[in-house]
Amino acid sequence: MTTTVYSARRIVTMNPNRPFATHVAVRDGRILGAGSLEELKGWGEVEFDTRFADKVILPGFVEGHSHAFEGGVWKFPYVGYFDRTTPEGKAAPGLKSIDEVVAALQAHEKTLPKGASLLAWGFDPIYFGGRRMVVADVDRISTERPVVIIHSNFHVANANTAVLAKAGITRTTNVHGIVKDASGEPTGELQEMAAKYMAYRAAGVEIAAVLSDEQAVWRFARVAQLAGVTTATDLHNELPDSTVEGYLKASASDDFPIRLLPAFAATAIPPAEGVTRLQALVKKNNDKLRFQLVKIVTDGSIQGLSARMRWPGYYDGTPNGVWNVGPDDLDRILLAYHREGFQVHIHTNGDEASEVGIEAVERALAAAPRWDHRHTLQHAQMADAGQFRRMKALGMCANLFANHIFYWGDIHRAKTLGPERAERMDACATALATGVPFAIHCDAPVTPIGPLFTAWCAVNRLTASGRTLGEAEKIPVADALRAITLGAAYTLKLDEELGSIDVGKRADFAILDDDPLSVPPEKLKDVGVWGTVLGGKVFEAPKA
Amino acid sequence: MTAPIPFTVIGGFLGAGKTTLLNRLLRGAEGRRFAVLVNDFGALDIDGRLVAAHGGDTVALANGCLCCTIGDSLVTTLLGLLERPDRFDHIVVEASGVADPGRVADLAVLEPRLSRDGVIVVVDAAEVRARAADRRVGDTIQRQLKAADLLLLNKTDLANDLPALQVWLGTQSDAPVLEARHADVPLDLLFGLDRHGATAASPSSDTFASWSYTWPEPVDRDVLLAMLREAPGEVLRAKGIVRFADAPDRRSVVHLVGRRLEVGDEGPWGDTAESRLVILGLKPVLGSLQRE
């Protein structure tokens, strides 16, 4: 029974009884105590570990809304506008023009075997001054092999002539989602179902399994760990046997660097079967793999113009979005899992979706009263103060998509929501004021996983163009740090086990180069992550 | 290349009768192999004695039909089905109760192995107007009605004022309306004729019938298409293999579902003797067509 005491420049515990400490003692993968060296010596013989002496220790970050799919897509080249970090810890620099994207993929193309399709992801043309990628651009990469470049939102893609020809797409093809130019020719840009279908056709249907296999979840875990994350969700997965097997194998390894919480996609099979399946999966849980969450997706996305909005709808007059699971089905599915004691995470982007989600929980509680259910609205981007008050009254949580403020805030202000609703989107301050337990998230791979960046968004509310979007919804750094640790753990019903540095909890730490409470708030995202500790095991991040 | 497989989408709101219709289809398949993609095959009324094989997400029936659960992704389920070695005569997809079935039918346009057959939207005669006025799902219902090639107005026995409902439906959709109780309609009206052309045995009943045309000489394209475009509302389907005067060496396929008319090309005309067109519809009108 070894007891290790780590010294640190500062330990930020999230435990209000002892908010800061200089030493933390770890035994059997759990926290024995945090305090002064003198205090911790009382536990008996200890080993000193001083490697964090100049570092700052926080509870390991908890990412409450991400997808292991992030690890899947790293199988393919990243061609986004913003810099990103690969699972190996290398910098994947942002590509700042269509020509740069084409050049990068021309080089990649030469490495592929004959006949193979070329897929890339993360492309985001909204920063290219209105210029869209067209089929001629993509044909410069290859005219022979199928080429599909998936956009950062995963709902749009660009394809080359080979893809269009194979599908018989011409100027006469009348299908929603095939973008055409002024002369009526397809530009190669495909949206929604058309994009998805072409990506799968090019990649082969087995790609779905590849994106969620054992290697993918390893890559996801590494990307998360590099950002200081020790617990992450895979918040929508059908959990086919092959995926479950991969997750079980990965999580059984001592070197697997995170605790993973997959959320069962409730629409995968009928609720009665789903409940049985999830109950069986729960029995396979281990320290690093927890089946316990359920996910239901109600509407689409705001920027994809598919969110379900209350009156007055989209700022630019776009018709209301679409239901994936409509109000009636939501009631039925939610109640089935609610009755069996599961916690349900409900994706709601638009405010009509949030309203429907809240009312579904209200009805489920009336039908089957239950305490401490913690059903959580995921995204709840447009929720207003009234909706937060209802969430509070019903015992619900919210997980707000703070990263949206940076990545799409300008678009929301100008086109989708208009200034007033954009300024109050992802309303962290309202959540605090109304007392709704909340987390903030990245939705990786939609945006990169990086809780300090997410906290920075909630604190500063700066858009990509540098505009402050909603002064009144900014929250203090301390509250943002709580939202990426104990707050997120609460929304996953793990707050008694992790999320703060407190006696008896898991020894899960984020090891930082600097103190996020001392740096200027606008520098929060730049605080370096040295690595993590998971259950007492140290994971140093490779240096970029 | 083998001929593309007809692809039909059944849309309509929760409770309209989509499952009842699919049960009829599976029971009445009569030698045609349907692959039916559904949201929940537990809801289907499949006679256990007719199940040939049960494979988790699929149930194979003794009559050659296959049911698949769509699960979380129609795209991957459909692609998986197309990769199977077994061939099907027709693929039918049950759209979710809130989906736009027109968007689902787009898949058949994107996929060369499929041909878009039709979008049938099942309408609950008792509920549809209240649903269409609902603040949250009204626009979804309206999109479904608009996307229909054929409307199956179901539960007419439960409707308050059927004539008024018919008038209202006319303001929502251009599609012809087929009235039914318990989704009891002739399957050929919905799922058409043999995929190889107008050669199937003609269905008939008290209320509907088929009419078959043949032309030994090449046919004037404009005249034929105009006739179909202007056909009365009671004409529900038509399918023909036609030798057009402006393309006498090509085998043109004429396909009408509801008000959607498409002309395709199936290669060289070959040695077929004559053009042939079969129309399915409600009886009185076919009588008048016969006179023309």
Task: Say how far apart CA A348 and CA A168 lie, in whole Å.
Answer: 36
* pLDDT tier, A391 (very low <50, low <70, confident <90, very high otherwise): very high
For residue A509, give both structure tokens: 């730490």
Question: Cis before residue A312, ω within 30 degrees of 0?
Answer: yes
Which tokens sit at A262?
């997959």
Q: Decide if A196 touches B, using CB distance below 8 A.
A: yes
Report pLDDT for A521: 98
In a domain, A236, yes or no: yes
Interface test with B, best of A173, A191, A269, A356 (most B CBs within 10 A): A269
**Interatomic CA distance for residues A182 and A173, integer angstroms:** 15
Q: Do B24 and B144 belong together in one domain?
A: yes
Statement to judge: residues B264 and B146 lie in one domain: no
The answer as to whether B143 is a domain residue is yes
Q: Indicate if B142 and B282 belong to the same structural domain.
A: no
What does residue B19 show for φ and ψ, rounded to 5 degrees? Answer: -65, -40
Q: Are residues B134 and B11 in the same domain?
A: yes
Q: Does B144 reside within a domain?
A: yes
CB–CB contact B136 A352 (8 Å): yes
Neighbour-count burial for A463-497, b at 16+ CB within 10 Å, e otherwise: bbeeeebbeebbbebebbbbbbbbbbbbbbbbbeb
Residues 6+ apart with CB under 8 A from A27: A1, A2, A3, A4, A43, A536
Q: Tell whether A541 is covered by a domain.
A: no
Residue among B98, B103, B137 whose CB faces A176 most closely = B103
Q: What percent of chain A has pLDDT over 90?
A: 91
Using alpha carbons, list the distances in angstroms from residue B40 to A270, B58, B97, B155. Answer: 6, 11, 12, 22
Cα–Cα distance, A242 to A215 (Å, whole number): 12
Dump strand ranges (E) for A281-342: 293-297
Which ipTM was obtained for this model? 0.90
A544: confidence class by pLDDT, cuts 50, 70, 90: low
Do residues A356 and A303 both lie within one domain? yes
Establish if A209 touches chain B: CB-CB under 8 angstroms.
no
Instruction: Flag the least confident range among A50-64, A364-378, B271-285.
Output: B271-285
Give yes or no for A205 touching B (CB within 8 A): yes
A359 touches chain B (CB under 8 A): no
In angstroms, rounded to a whole number, what is the distance separating the alpha carbons of residues B205 and A399?
Answer: 58
Judged by phi (left if over 0) then psi (alpha if -120 to 50, else beta), residue A507 lies in beta
B1 CB neighbours in chain A (<8 A) are none
- Tokens standing for B33? 């192999």
Q: Do A198 and B107 touch (CB under 8 A)?
A: no
Which range of residues forms the domain containing residue B233? Answer: 208-291
Chain A residue closest in CA terms to B42: A270
Question: Does residue A239 fall inside a structural domain?
Answer: yes
pLDDT score, position A130: 83
Q: Verify whether the Cβ–Cβ distance B72 to A265 is below 8 Å.
A: yes
CA distance B233 to B281: 9
Q: What is the DSSP string of B146-158?
A: HH-SEEEEE-GGG
Is the Cβ pair B136, A169 closer than 8 Å? no
One domain for residues A201 and A310: no
The verdict on a CB contact (< 8 Å) between B103 and A193 is yes
- pLDDT tens profile B203-218: 556 677 777 888 899 9
Show the CA angle centred on residue A225, arms to residues A224 and A227, nearest 5°: 70
Asked if the structure places residue B73 within a domain, the reply is: yes
For A208, nearest residue in chain B (alpha carbons): B76
Neighbours of A184 (CB within 10 A): 9
B72 vs A214 pLDDT, higher one? A214
Name the minimum distance, in Å, from the CA of A417 to any CA of chain B. Answer: 19
Is A416 a member of any domain? yes
Q: What are phi and psi of A464, to 5 degrees?
A: -60, -30
* Interval A86-102: pLDDT, tens: 999 999 999 999 999 99
Number of neighbouring beta carbons within 10 Å of residue A439: 31
In a domain, A151, yes or no: yes
Do A287 and A415 lie in a common domain? yes
What SS3 class is residue B219?
strand
**Cβ contact, residue pair B71, A238, below 8 Å:** yes
Q: Is residue A243 part of a domain?
A: yes
- The minimum CA-CA distance between B285 and chain A, rounded to whole Å, is 31
- C-beta of residue A510 within 8 angstroms of C-beta of residue A532: yes
CA dist., res. A422 & res. A153, Å (int): 19
Residue B122 has pLDDT above 70, yes or no: yes
Looking at residue B157, which CATH number applies to its domain? 3.40.50.300
DSSP state of A189: E
Calculate the average pLDDT of chain A. Answer: 96
pLDDT of residue B137: 96
Residues B74 and B115 reside in one and the same domain = yes
Domain's final residue, options A442, A464, A486: A464
First to last CA, chain A: 36
In this structure, which amino acid lies at residue A256? F
Query: Both A358 and A449 in a single domain?
Result: yes
Query: What is the rounded distance in angstroms from the CA atom of residue A160 to the CA atom of residue A389?
Result: 50
Whether the per-residue pLDDT at B195 is higher than 50: the answer is no
Shared-domain flag, residues B154 and B96: yes
Average pLDDT over residues A225-244: 96
Q: Is residue A185 over pLDDT 90?
A: yes
Pick from A176, A197, A356: CB nearest B136 = A356
Q: Please check whether residues A204 and A277 belong to one and the same domain.
A: no
**In a shared domain, residues B143 and B228:** no
Contacts of A352 in chain B (CB under 8 A): 136
Do B19 and B96 share a structural domain?
yes
Using CA coordinates, name the residue in chain A closest to B80: A205
- Interface contact B136-A308, CB threshold 8 A: yes
- Is any Cβ of chain A less than 8 angstroms from the Cβ of B140? yes
Check if the beta carbon of residue A322 is closer than 8 Å to that of residue B100: yes
8 Å CB contact between A294 and A264 = yes
A179 touches chain B (CB under 8 A): no
**Total domain count for chain B?**
2
Report the chain A residue with the minimal C-alpha distance to residue B114.
Answer: A167
Q: What is the pLDDT of residue B1?
A: 56
Instruction: Judge if B214 and B274 occupy the same domain.
Output: yes
Tell me if chain B has a CB within 8 Å of the CB of A502.
Answer: no
CA-wise closest residue to A158 among A175, A173, A176, A136: A136
Estimate to the nearest angstrom the gap between the alpha carbon of B1 and the chain centroid.
24
Confidence check: pLDDT of B287 > 80 = no
Give residue B271's pLDDT: 83
Assess whether pLDDT exceeds 90 at residue B191.
no
**For range A407-428, the mean pLDDT:** 97
Say whether both A200 and A215 belong to one domain. Answer: no
pLDDT tier at B200, thresholds 50, 70, 90: very low
- Based on the domain organization, do A277 and A177 belong to the same domain? no
State the distance between the two ends of chain B, measured CA to CA, in whole angstroms: 38
Distance CA A140, CA A403 (A): 33
Q: Are strands A118-123 and A147-151 parallel, antiparallel or unpaired?
A: parallel
CA A531 – CA A509 distance, rounded (Å)? 9
Q: Which of B100, B106, B112 sits opposite A322 (nearest CB)?
A: B100
8 Å CB contact of A196 and B98: no
Closest CA to A290 of A267, A264, A259: A259
Closest approach of chain B CAs to the CA of A315, in angstroms? 18
Contact A322 B106 (CB under 8 A): no
DSSP H stretches of helix in A257-349: 271-282, 327-339
A488 pLDDT higher than 70: yes
Residue in the block written with tokens 């529900």: B236
Provide the CATH number for the domain around residue A90: 3.10.310.70
B209 or A48: which leads in pLDDT = A48
Which of A120-124, A210-214, A445-449, B104-108 has the lowest average pLDDT? A210-214
Q: Compute how many other C-beta atoms are within 10 angstroms of the C-beta atom of residue A365.
A: 18
- b (16+ CB within 10 A) / e for A372-385: ebbbbbbbbbbbbe
In sequence order, the 6+-apart residues with CB closer than 8 A to the CB of A7 are A22, A23, A37, A48, A49, A50, A52, A53
The residue among B19, B72, B100, B135 with the most chain A CBs within 10 A of its CB, best to mutate, is B72
What is the predicted pLDDT for the residue at A373? Answer: 98
In CATH, what number is assigned to the domain containing residue A291? 3.20.20.140
To 10 degrees, what angle do helices A192-203 and B74-83 make? Answer: 40
User: Average pLDDT for residues A387-395, to the nearest whole number?
Assistant: 98
- CB contact under 8 Å between A268 and B40, yes or no, is no
Domain co-membership, A125 together with A175:
yes
Q: Could you tell me the sign of the dihedral formed by the alpha carbons of A367, A369, A370, A376, in that order?
A: positive
pLDDT of residue A1: 73
Alpha carbon B258 to chain centroid, angstroms: 9
Q: Are residues A154 and A261 in the same domain?
A: no
Interface contact flag, B71 A269, Cβ < 8 Å = yes
Q: In this complex, is the C-beta atom of A285 within 8 Å of any C-beta atom belonging to chain B?
A: no
In this structure, what token pair is assigned to residue A402? 């703070």
A231 and A183 belong to one structural domain? no
Size of interface A-B (CB pairs under 8 A): 85
pLDDT at A84: 95
Q: What is the 3-state secondary structure (H, E, C) of A390-454?
A: HHHHHCCEEEECCHHHHHHHHHHHHHHCHHHHHHCCCCHHHHHHHCCCEEECCCCCCCCCCHHHH
Q: Can you tell me the distance from the alpha carbon of B82 to that of B76, in angstroms, rounded to the nearest whole number? A: 10
Q: Which residues of B touch A175 (CB under 8 A)?
A: 106, 109-110
In a mutagenesis test of the A interface, which of B136, B260, B262, B265 is the best target, namely the one with the most A β-carbons within 10 Å? B136
Q: Which CATH number characterizes residue B283's domain? A: 3.30.1220.10
Length of chain B: 292
Range of the domain at A264: 211-464
Structural domain ending residue among the three candidates B134, B161, B191: B191
Q: Which neighbouring-strand residues pair with B263?
A: B254
In the 8-state DSSP scheme, what is residue A286? B
Q: Which of B160, B191, B222 delimits the end of a domain?
A: B191
Sheet holding B275-282, edge to edge: B208-215, B275-282, B235-244, B247-257, B260-268
Here the tokens at position A372 are 């401490």
Is the residue at A522 inside a domain? Answer: no
Residue B285 host element (H or E): helix B283-291
Q: Can you give the pLDDT at residue B199? A: 38
B178/B257 same-domain check: no
A174, A236, A267, A352: which to substitute to probe chain B, counting the most B Cβ within 10 Å?
A: A267
* pLDDT over 90 (residue B229): no
CA distances, B127 to each of A65, A333, B14, B123 (Å): 38, 22, 10, 8
Domain assignment of residue B198, yes or no: no
Indicate if B100 and B242 belong to the same structural domain.
no
Min Cα–Cα distance to chain A from B195, Å? 21
Average pLDDT rounded to a whole number, residues B70-76: 88
In a domain, B202, yes or no: no
Of B133, B166, B191, which one is at a domain's C-terminal end? B191
The stretch B145-156 carries a mean pLDDT of 95
- Measured between alpha carbons, how far is A57 from A74 in angstroms, rounded to an integer? 29
Chain A neighbours among B 3-32 (CB < 8 Å)? 14
H helices of A135-258, where?
135-139, 161-167, 192-203, 207-210, 214-226, 241-252
Contacts of B127 in chain A (CB under 8 A): none
- Please tell me the least confidently modeled range out of A258-272, A280-294, A301-315, B196-210: B196-210
Question: What's the domain count of chain A?
Answer: 2
Residues A407, A310 share a domain: yes
Distance between A164 CA and the closest CA of chain B, angstroms: 9
The predicted structure's pLDDT at residue B290: 47
| pLDDT of res. A261 | 98
What radius of gyration, in Å, describes the C-alpha atoms of chain B? Answer: 19
Nearest to B153 by CA among B136, B133, B134, B170: B170
Best A201, A236, A241, A358 member to test B by mutation, with max B CBs in 10 Å, is A201
SS3 A349: coil
| A474 vs A468: CA distance, rounded Å | 10
Chain B residue numbers with beta carbons less than 8 Å from the beta carbon of A322 are 98-100, 140
Close Cβ partners of B15 (under 8 Å, ≥ 6 residues apart): B97, B124, B127
- pLDDT attached to residue B96: 93
Q: Is A174 on the interface with B (CB under 8 A)?
A: yes
Whether A311 and A435 share a structural domain: yes
A335 pLDDT higher than 60: yes
Q: Tokens 């929604």, residue?
A: A192
Q: Which residue is closest to B106 within chain A, CA to CA? A: A175
- Whether residues B225 and B112 fall in one domain: no
Give the tens place of pLDDT for each residue, A424-482.
Answer: 999 999 999 999 999 999 999 999 999 999 999 999 999 999 999 999 999 999 999 99
Query: Is residue B155 situated within a structural domain?
Result: yes
| A5 in any annotated domain | no
Residue in B14, B76, B100 closest to A205 by CB: B76
User: pLDDT confidence of B193, banded at 50, 70, 90?
Assistant: low
Amino acid at B195: R
